Amino acid sequence: MRCVLASLYLTIIGSFSLSAQVDSLPLDADFVFQDGVYLTLQQLHQNQPAYEWKEVEARLAANRDRYFAQMEYIKPRGLAAIPVTDVYAFVLKGLPYIRVEDTVDNEKAATFAGLRVRGKLCYYTYERREPKTVEMAAYNPLTGKPFRKGRVKREETIVIEHVLDFATGQRVPLSREHLKALMADDPEMVRAVAELPEEGLGEKLYKCVLIYDDRNPIRLPVYPKTKNKK
């Protein structure tokens, strides 16, 4: 009888523990956000979109492999269209894309970057076209010597690496000094970042973000519509 009661007690305790576990999960690569449109960072914190996709009409293109998307138009059904620059983020198939504030394609489309790393610190990249002046020369085909030189304006595409402090929404370029500031609550990580050699620094800083997130996990709410792997 005691064994039966003990078994029943453990079963009840186990069911309560399971319920408690699924209330929230760690924010990491396995966490699946609810699909939809998020107008604020706080809505991401709560894992509750302002609108589900079925509630809006939108014109957008997304490439999950490149962690890149652009949105041209969004309109909640039955309401007026809202500026795409009012959208903080959207989620497709569990992956959040946040709006990149300094890129608007001729004011027609807003660029969004998928969060490649999710955690207390998130990492994302995007491309930006910047003007560049280069020197060009015209050569004499017979002599192979330049006979005219000039400076020409060109555009080049550069890759921007940014880090998002998920708690505060602060966004900063990936750099040694910025990471030291963001990791101030973990002195060991601050020291590790400070001692990194310059060679291959970018890749090492990226790995430090991963290590920091593992050492400093945060949790987000989970709701029935969210199908997480854990």
Q: How would you write the pLDDT of the chain (230 residues) with one tens digit per residue?
A: 444 344 434 443 343 333 444 689 999 999 999 999 999 999 999 999 999 999 999 999 999 999 999 999 999 999 999 999 999 999 999 999 999 976 544 557 899 999 999 999 999 999 877 666 667 666 666 676 666 666 767 777 889 999 999 999 999 999 999 999 999 999 999 999 999 999 999 999 999 999 999 999 999 998 755 444 44
Tokens, residue 156: 């080049």
Would you say residue 89 lies in a domain? Answer: no
- Give pLDDT, residue 147: 61
Q: Is residue 192 situated within a structural domain?
A: yes
Beta strands in 47-120 (DSSP E): 56-63, 68-76, 89-92, 95-105, 109-114
- Find residue 114's DSSP bridge partners: 97
CB 98 within 8 A of CB 67: no
Q: What's the rounded Cα separation, in Å, for the pair 91 and 149?
A: 50
Residue 181 belongs to some domain of the structure: yes
CB half-sphere exposure, 213, CA atoms < 13 A: 24
Specify if 203 maps to a domain: yes
Task: Flag whether 205 is in a domain.
Answer: yes
Examine residue 153 and state whether it is found in any structural domain, yes or no.
no
Does 50 map to a domain? Answer: no
Long-range CB contacts (within 8 A, 24+) of 134-141? none
Name the residue with tokens 């009012």: 86
Cα separation, 221 vs 22, in Å, equals 8
Total domains in the fold of the chain: 1
44: helix, strand or coil = helix
What are the residues whose beta carbons fall under 8 Å from the beta carbon of 154, sequence distance 6 or more? Answer: 131, 132, 133, 134
In a domain, 155, yes or no: no
Supply the pLDDT for residue 10.
40
- The whole domain housing 208 covers 174-217
Q: Which tokens in the block code for residue 13?
A: 């305790």
Region of residue 94 (phi > 0: left; psi between -120 and 50: alpha; otherwise: beta): left
